[in-house]
Amino acid sequence: MSKVIKSVCNDELNLDNVGIFYNKDNIKAQEVSECVKTKLAENQVNSKIYTTYEFSAGITFAIILGGDGTILKAARYYAEYNVPILGINLGRLGFLSQAKSSQADKAVECILKGLFKIESRTMISALDGKLNALNDIVIKGESFSRTSRLYVHINDNIVCDYLADGLIISTPTGSTAYTLSAGGPILSPSLDAIVIVPICPHTMNARPIVIPSHEIIKVTSSQNKPLLKISADGQNTLDLGIDENIIIKKCDYKARLVLLNLEKNSFYSVLKEKLHWGLSWKG
């Protein structure tokens, strides 16, 4: 008989085949994964522990132990299979996680009590699905010591040519990552939008732009520049010839993130905590 938990928001979570995935490069991760497995077993939920090199399509719910990079990797894999994921932070910032390692037991309790919701997050795709990203697609020149001239078209209309160190195409989820560092706006992850942000542009009139997610972005480069590099979530990278058009659009599927009803767990509370908003500077 299937074990399905219905949340207070009427979202359903299938616990028939729970996978606990940990980053084996993190010393503490395996220990926490064992604690999570024990807590689930105490509540008659079977689970299996894997490393983040062992993602399986047969999982019905994935618990990810690690930093944001580990969660991004899992989200990209499981989005295609519509599998919800829960992140428990063992990294530094932990924007995508819902609990600290010390809260792992409490996180499991929230799941079992239905104190969660499942939020679908917009993803973007480049090069006909060769690269998919939950955070961002980044385009840079092959030579990191030189700027690149990148032409941005939206729906086949030329919008701007950027002389810059590169270009970030970001989802709302990724707006608190590289995009934020490059001067882009913070977007609520519930928005269905895409952000285009130049990296260190060599002109004062180059500004970030927010567009609806259904619009199609094409990026081209001038013919006298070297090859381009394109990366997804800072993890998957491809080299491109200068004559290749880069088409970026909304992905056909979305990441499904499990959000817990823990204290101070709303998006705005997380922003305040992670970015230290409202705290006076101490020299």
Task: State pLDDT tens for residues 100-123.
Answer: 888 999 999 999 999 999 999 999
Q: Strands 99-100, 4-6: parallel, antiparallel or unpaired by DSSP?
A: unpaired
Range in 44-48, 201-205, 248-252 the model is least confident about: 201-205
pLDDT number for residue 104: 92
- pTM (2 d.p.): 0.90
Q: How far is CA 121 from the centre of its chain?
A: 8
pLDDT number for residue 204: 78
Place of tokens 């006298």: 224
Element (H, E) at 281: none
Domain boundaries, the chain: 4-122+254-274, 124-250
Q: Which residue is catalytic, options 25, 68, 239, 252? A: 68
Q: How far is CA 228 from the centre of its chain?
A: 23
Q: What is the CATH number of domain 4-122+254-274?
A: 3.40.50.10330
Q: Which residues lie below 8 Å from residue 99, measured CB to CB, with a gap of 6+? A: 88, 89, 106, 107, 260, 262
% of the chain exceeding 70 in pLDDT: 90
Backbone angles phi, psi at 116, to 5 degrees: -155, 170
223-261 burial by CB neighbour count: b if 16+ within 10 A, else e? eebeebbbbbbbeeeeebebebebebbbbeebbbbbbbb
Residue 25 appears among annotated catalytic residues? no
User: For 148-159, what is the mean pLDDT?
Assistant: 92
The letter for the amino acid at 21 is: F
User: For 12-33, what is the mean pLDDT?
Assistant: 91
May I ask the CATH class of domain 124-250?
mainly beta
pLDDT, tens digit, 9 for 90 and up, residues 27-59: 888 899 999 999 999 999 999 999 988 998 899
